[in-house]
Chain A
Amino acid sequence: MILGNYLTAVALFCVGLYVLLTRRNLIKIVMGLSLMEASTYLFMVSLAYRAGSTAPVLVSPPAGKTAKQLAHGNVADPVLQNFCLTAVVIGVAVTAVFLSVVVRIAQHYRTLDADKVRAMRG
């Protein structure tokens, strides 16, 4: 079951990497990086998985269980999920800056072809 998650994450990562390495359209490059980013989240959340565990929410435990029982029992690893949330927030900010740079490039150069936006080389 969880193996499927890992395989999906790896596949997504490879698709994103393929786009990053082969596409010259700036927006596609941003999309490729976003795909890779999404795959890292999937990977991280999958790492937090434990067989038969519940969500790591200890505030209002289900009926018949106390928070202490849950904490000592089987919950998914909250640290990795937390780590993921942090990265999601950062990722949104980065994508926003990224796309605004692409918009400015499109305005200045009138093209989205990365090959036409490489005045600096060598």
Chain B
Amino acid sequence: MSSQALASLLPLPVALPIAGAVAAPLLARLHRRLAVIVGMVALGGAAAILLLQAPSVFGGLVRAHYLGLWTPVHGHALGIAMAADPFGLIFALTSAVVGAVLLLYTLSELGGLGPRELGGYACLFQLVVAALIGAALTADLINLFVWFEVAALASYGLTAFLLERPIALEAAFKIIALTTLASFAVFLGAGLLYAVNGALNYAPLHAALARHLSTADVIALGLLVAGFATKTGLVPFHGWLADVHTATSGPVSALFSGLMYNFGIVAIARLAFQVFGVGSTPILGLLLTVGIISALLGAVMALAQDDLKRLLAYDTISQMGILAIGLGTGTASGIAGTVYHLVNHALFKSLLFLCAGAILHRTGLTKLSEMGALARRMPVVAVAFVIGAASIAGIPPLNGYVSLSLIHTGLLDGHQYLPYALMLVAQVITIAALGKAAWLAFFRPRAQYYPQLEPLRPGMVAGLASLAGCCVVFGVLPQFFLDSVMAPAVAGLRYPAHYASGVLTGLARLPALHLPFDYFSPGELASVAGCVLAGAALGWAYLRAREPGPVRLLRAAHTGSVNDYAAYAVAGMLAVVAVLTLT
């Protein structure tokens, strides 16, 4: 297919899920399962069109399409730009494929719901995925804001959707309040950048900012970063996140944690690397700091939880911190690690949340202290959970090992030894938390027997198996993925001028990068072994000890009050803006 034709297909991966979202509630009237099936078709179609772009884009091309052919004139872009660069395409593809798998799982697990429920559910689900694909492919700030809001609105609906428990309403209130606050920051930031530079498209914006960077621009960057950090759930903007996951069903949690939170990281990466450029602001140091705080706090809070889904939610905060750390290194390895981890996190965290949802759905239990010995009753879920947990722990040959070692390499390349040590500490605590969860839920003996548990349906097994299989595939073929997918993405982030020229002219080639990866690096293997041993010891000790004072203090700070969480977020926003403008 010609390049022109491929470019003109770019709006379709967004349009298809939106059309599916409109069709779902209508088709649900004919047959309730049609709603979810049309969703799978729409997401599958989106994935297929994105795959058509893949050979050339992952070959190092940036391709752009302007809606209505309002192409740029003399470097001024007025039209709505859709640009496929390797970085965005990875995120878009992951969203479409994992989204389709999650819908398949939903069809299987929740297929018994009524037509109205399934129709609305499939509609909101597809809107979230459409927004994620849109955000990945858009090349201007106003559309980024709009996709932010589309994802946000649909996520509010999904949070409060299945009112199995009234806490879903409480969670919905918190996510709406905090995300609305974030949307003001994004709105003001984007408007300010336009008012100063007269451009919303990334390419002219990058040119204008490279020429001259005023204080207003830096304030705008701070507002945008704070806004997207709220969407991602980085500390201190994370108050709403754990509550949302405590209340929602498994597939919704998987969608949010696996896919939606990455939105913020993708947006921050684009802003930091492709719009502003990393040399002119202290954004990398900021990301590194925020990332380490998130990684540590998320891990500690995860270790302290008794609710399985809440534990996984705090671990999500920790993993988002790891993503920020990788970006903050600024080195090729670190960024590649983040991009790799973005995909990995979508796989293993979706897997874990589906497992937690399956347990909740089958046994009605949410608390780890009430579970036990589930491995014999739900062997498939147990295997899937252990694969997911081992991936996060970074045990070879699973995917987490590759992305974490890349980020480690990035930190060591940049001589960031303190962040490296702190990241290892966070890793040890994460392993302890997940090991504790796996032991308590699946392996420890349990006195009373479970009543007859409903067996897993084929669609659920297929969903779990495909996600777990991907975890293994991404773990055993790192060099293939690095060379063919991650390296071009890193090139797109590291060479913003090439990306900008691709957006403006419609076609540009990125410089080729090679990312070496030593699978059997002795240092890395030793650190994994050390982390796993230390993590197991910590988990074992934690189960026997009383809750330590600092952990109790941290838990007390998470008061559950909207006012407090908003205060943390506002304080964080002010801090981010202050750090960026004053240093």
Contact A122 B153 (CB under 8 A): no
B172 contacts chain A at the CB level, 8 A cutoff? yes
Residues of A within 8 A of B246 (CB): 120
A68 contacts chain B at the CB level, 8 A cutoff? no
Decide yes or no: A122 and B191 within 8 Å by CB, A93-B153, A101-B176 being known contacts.
no
Decide yes or no: A80 and B177 within 8 Å by CB, A21-B570, A108-B166 being known contacts.
no
Residues of A within 8 A of B171 (CB): 120
Among candidates B157, B167, B180, B191, residue contacting A83 with C-beta atoms closer than 8 Å: B191
B420 contacts chain A at the CB level, 8 A cutoff? no
Contact B563 A86 (CB under 8 A): no
A37 to B183: give the CA distance in the assembly, Å: 9
> For window 70-122 of chain A, which residues contact chain B by CB distance below 8 Å?
77, 79-80, 83, 86-87, 90, 93-94, 97-98, 101-102, 104-105, 108-109, 114-115, 117-122
Inter-chain residue pair count (beta carbon < 8 A): 124
Residues of B within 8 A of A79 (CB): 194, 200
Q: What total of chain B residues lie within 8 Å of the partner, measured CB to CB?
A: 48
Distance between B304 CB and nearest chain A CB, rounded to angstroms: 8
Contact A120 B247 (CB under 8 A): yes
Contact A20 B166 (CB under 8 A): no
Contact B153 A94 (CB under 8 A): yes
B540 contacts chain A at the CB level, 8 A cutoff? no
Which single residue of chain B is at the shortest CB-CB distance from A122?
A: B555
B110 contacts chain A at the CB level, 8 A cutoff? no
Q: What total of chain A residues lie within 8 Å of the partner, measured CB to CB?
A: 41
Residues of A within 8 A of B181 (CB): 20, 33, 36
A22 to B567: give the CA distance in the assembly, Å: 9
> For window 26-67 of chain A, which residues contact chain B by CB distance below 8 Å?
26, 29, 33, 36-37, 40, 43-44, 47-48
A21 to B558: give the CA distance in the assembly, Å: 15
Which single residue of chain A is at the shortest CB-CB distance from B196?
A: A47
Decide yes or no: A119 and B563 within 8 Å by CB, A21-B570, A97-B157, A104-B160 being known contacts.
no
Contact A86 B142 (CB under 8 A): yes
Residues of A within 8 A of B170 (CB): 105, 117-120
Residues of A within 8 A of B3 (CB): none
Residues of A within 8 A of B519 (CB): none
> For window 175-194 of chain B, which residues contact chain A by CB distance below 8 Å?
176-177, 180-181, 183-184, 187-188, 190-192, 194
A19 to B237: give the CA distance in the assembly, Å: 19
Contact A101 B160 (CB under 8 A): yes
Distance between A62 CB and nearest chain B CB, rounded to angstroms: 25
Distance between B568 CB and nearest chain A CB, rounded to angstroms: 10
A15 contacts chain B at the CB level, 8 A cutoff? no
Distance between B571 CB and nearest chain A CB, rounded to angstroms: 10
Which single residue of chain B is at the shortest CB-CB distance from A87?
A: B187
Contact B176 A98 (CB under 8 A): yes
Which single residue of chain A is at the shortest CB-CB distance from B179?
A: A94
Residues of B within 8 A of A86 (CB): 142, 145-146
23 inter-chain pairs at a CB distance below 8 angstroms, sorted by A residue, are A20-B563, A40-B184, A44-B188, A44-B191, A80-B191, A80-B195, A83-B187, A83-B191, A86-B145, A94-B152, A94-B180, A97-B153, A101-B156, A101-B169, A101-B173, A104-B160, A105-B169, A114-B561, A118-B560, A118-B561, A120-B170, A120-B242, A120-B560
